[in-house]
Structure 1
């Protein structure tokens, strides 16, 4: 089973945190320990890097709302060079061992109006940002 969430990012998403739809809690729940409201999510990029994101459950109102929080989200934003109007995609797929693999990608609209993958800078990020498989 593969589930995808894409969002064209606004300034608030870039500066603070990214909200994830509530239906994703069905996918993310196994990552959270019993009674915990934060979990570390590891997601693969197209180039084979693994990025770590802190996912937290906001308890506002009757529904749990997952968010990707700083500082991990901000490190990713800064390293990739994400801008307002870029499209961020988070994908989840269950593998043969019934574990969930997460993938991330960022796209920017090109001059022809087509979405093209944003390539990270040529410089290597510090080890605490990501590691390559």
Structure 2
């Protein structure tokens, strides 16, 4: 059973440049000590693998993690917009060191003034 790592409503910056990651979830990306980025794979609900990069600030005492490389391609492929949601979950272990991560997105739909959510993408 997957454990939700975080769910996030997407902002304009998340869609156009990079997606900010909640600090409490940084541990899941397993960035090696002394380094400031790590490439990792996630699997979407259709079984497709995606490669993203999680980066942290080098000099700031607050790391402020973001997803950079690969993330924008995912967002564009799924036609994600501001207000849509993305959920990352831990689906298992990959070797002794890395967590196996999953991703799904939902589109926010307004219909007759009511907010509905699409099936996971």
TM range, smaller chain: 0.7 to 0.9
Q: Which runs of 5+ in 1 are unaligned?
A: 120-133
CA–CA distance in structure 2, aligned partners of residues 2 and 118 of structure 1: 16
RMSD of aligned Cα (Å):
2.3
Aligned length: 116
Structure 1 segments of 4+ aligned residues over 3 angstroms from their partners: 93-99
TM-score normalized by the length of structure 2: 0.80
* Alignment check: 8 A CA contact 1:59 1:65 kept: no
Aligned runs of 1:1-133 on 2, under 5 Å? Answer: 2-29=3-30, 32-59=31-58, 61-70=60-69, 72-95=70-93, 99-110=98-109, 111=111, 113-117=115-119, 119=121
* Alignment check: 8 A CA contact 1:17 1:69 kept: yes
TM-superposed CA distance for 1:93, in Å, is: 3.6
CA–CA distance in structure 2, aligned partners of residues 76 and 96 of structure 1: 22
TM-score normalized by the length of structure 1: 0.74
TM-superposed CA distance for 1:9, in Å, is: 0.8
Q: Which runs of 5+ in 2 are unaligned?
A: none
